[in-house]
Amino acid sequence: MPKRRVLIQIIINERILFDNASIAHLEDTAMNNTEIQTKLSAELAQVRQRLLDMLADSDQGYHQQLLSQLKDTPPSDWLELTANNLGPEYQILISRLEKLEAALCQIDIGQYGYCCDCEEKIDDERLLTDPATQRCRRCAP
Ligand SMILES: [Zn+2]
């Protein structure tokens, strides 16, 4: 084979290798996002249920009122109804609800895994520990 053709062949081969690698990477990322989405959605359902249970267990009239209001409202609007209307004993649940919804929204718009403060990529280890993490190590040590 003439030298020039060999060279072209190498370039073509490398190009194919590169393309295959990119596609494999994309597929890998897409699959991971589906897994993450499943995981986040499952936790979100749990947290929403826990919120209902906690309100149901309360003997405060206001909590019972809110409970029936939540049952008539789509779960995607619950945060709005609860965020500023419940005491400190609910804050852990509510902030978890907030993070989970934000992470799911980021997957939808293709921004998952980026820090919401500095927009840098959050490292995988941190995302593995908590897939709903919103900030990188530097912004939230
Ligand atoms: Zn950051």
The type of residue at 10 is I
Answer whether residue 117 shows pLDDT above 70: yes
CA of 84 to the centre of ligand 1 (A): 26
Q: CA 115 to CA 133: how far, in whole Å?
A: 8
pLDDT attached to residue 84:
86
More confident residue, 129 or 23: 129
Do the beta carbons of residue 97 and residue 44 sit within 8 Å? Answer: yes
The candidate with the shortest Cα–Cα distance to 104, out of 20, 47, 54, is: 47
Neighbours of ion ligand 1 (CB under 5 A): 115, 117-118, 136, 139
Domain boundaries defined on the chain = 3-110
pLDDT attached to residue 32:
78
Q: CA 141 to CA 139: how far, in whole Å?
A: 6
- Cα 12 from chain centroid (whole Å): 38
What is the value of pTM for the model shown? 0.76
Answer whether residue 5 shows pLDDT above 90: no
pLDDT classification of 1: cutoffs 50, 70, 90 = low
Report DSSP state, residue 1: -
pLDDT attached to residue 15:
58
pLDDT attached to residue 7:
64
Q: pLDDT digits over 13-46, tens only?
A: 665 555 555 555 555 555 578 899 999 999 999 9
pLDDT classification of 57: cutoffs 50, 70, 90 = very high
CA of 123 to the centre of ligand 1 (A): 10
